[in-house]
Amino acid sequence: MSMQEYMDKAERYVLHTYNRFPVVLERGEGVYLYDTEGRRYLDFAAGIAVFALGYKNEVFNRALKNQIDKVIHTSNLYYNVPMAMAAEKLAAASGMDKVFFTNSGTEAVEGAIKAARKYAWMKDGGTDHEIIAMKNSFHGRSLGALSVTGNTHYQEPFKPLIGGIRFADFNDLESVRSRVTDRTCAVILETVQGEGGIYPADPAFLQGMRELCDERDILLILDEIQCGMGRTGEWFAWQGYGVKPDIMTTAKALGCGVPVGAFVLNKKTAEASLVPGDHGTTYGGNPLACAAVSAVFDQYEKKNLLEHVREIAPYLEKRLDELTENSEFVTARRGKGLMQGLVIREKTVGQVVNEALSAGLLVISAGSDVLRLVPPLVITEENVDEMIEILQKCL
């Protein structure tokens, strides 16, 4: 079939909740994707910060194939080998204590919300506890995750959402303080806001949040779904701030394309929140997904990927700063590590994204005016130069 025929078939049978770009991607190799007609695209989107290892990593692929030949699913009624191995590696990387595997980042946020409410209920038996979330945030599309997403555009058609949510200004400690009550049980925020426009947390803000939560026995939930798994040069972005959460959510690059997420708890929270019967999932922690997680951690270590990100990120920032300085359409760059955003004026971001696609470059947007760059973590300086050359022509 032609590429257009594949697109027509998808539009006929798949519910139209995405305005997809007019391309059918078929295979990948390294940092490039290829469509069904053989055209090559330099990938600076990585499946929305997912494919950290790049495409066709033979060791990763072989680990999945080997697990398929053993067992794909058993349910959480039984133990399985990959789950135990993956949980150990995730706990070690985060320095936290207990892991619950989910199918997605949204589900990880749902679990974090439940753990926080159960922790508060265990203290006083109350059911009227509140959670403080950030304006301009994004945590997912399910009703619980949507309730703590600080964007009315996503929320409006689906109200009423879960109650007891108060919104504060990101990077404004006094704004958060003003919303704390004696019913506040948790604060949730992205260490680096992604969908909202690539805004890293200020160090003083994040440190102040940790101190505030410690003072009031409030749980600090850090959403690392997009900014975690090495994207900032640390396993998780909060590690670069010296601030540790009580609950962390992770997904995306955790499985490098295999749908898997997790929420991770420190000892204090794990011992006084969820118990058998409180939470569950049929597929979460299944052998295939956890074999992927385990292989991802192994590949990060073998490739020394965190150090590579710390080495390549300054070069990416330098080239983006040069582009910003020399382009009348780019007003600012912001970001952290290999999670970067360019603020675009005059031309719409959507137009730039479409022109880049036509020129063989995959980039995506964030917010209403930001061009988002979240490439595979294995990119080289040559890949950065190629991206800059294409993007300059598009701008």
Residues annotated catalytic, as ranges = 138, 223, 252
Give dist(CA 257, CA 45) in Å, integer.
13
Q: For the chain, what is the HEC assignment?
A: CCHHHHHHHHHHHCCCCCCCCCCCEEEEEECEEEECCCCEEEECCHHHHCCCCCECCHHHHHHHHHHHHHCCCCCCCCCCHHHHHHHHHHHHHHCCCEEEEECCHHHHHHHHHHHHHHHHHHHHCCCCCEEEEEECCCCCCCHHHHHCCECHHHHHHHCCCCCCEEEECCCCHHHHHCCCCCCEEEEEEECEECCCCCEECCHHHHHHHHHHHHHHCCEEEEECCCCCCCCCCCCCHHHHCCCCCCEEEECHHHCCCCCCEEEEECHHHHCCCCCCCCCCCCCCCCHHHHHHHHHHHHHHHHHCHHHHHHHHHHHHHHHHHHHHHHCCCEEEEEEECCEEEEEECCCCHHHHHHHHHHCCEECEEECCCEEEECCCCCCCHHHHHHHHHHHHHHC
β-strand partners of 131: 165, 186
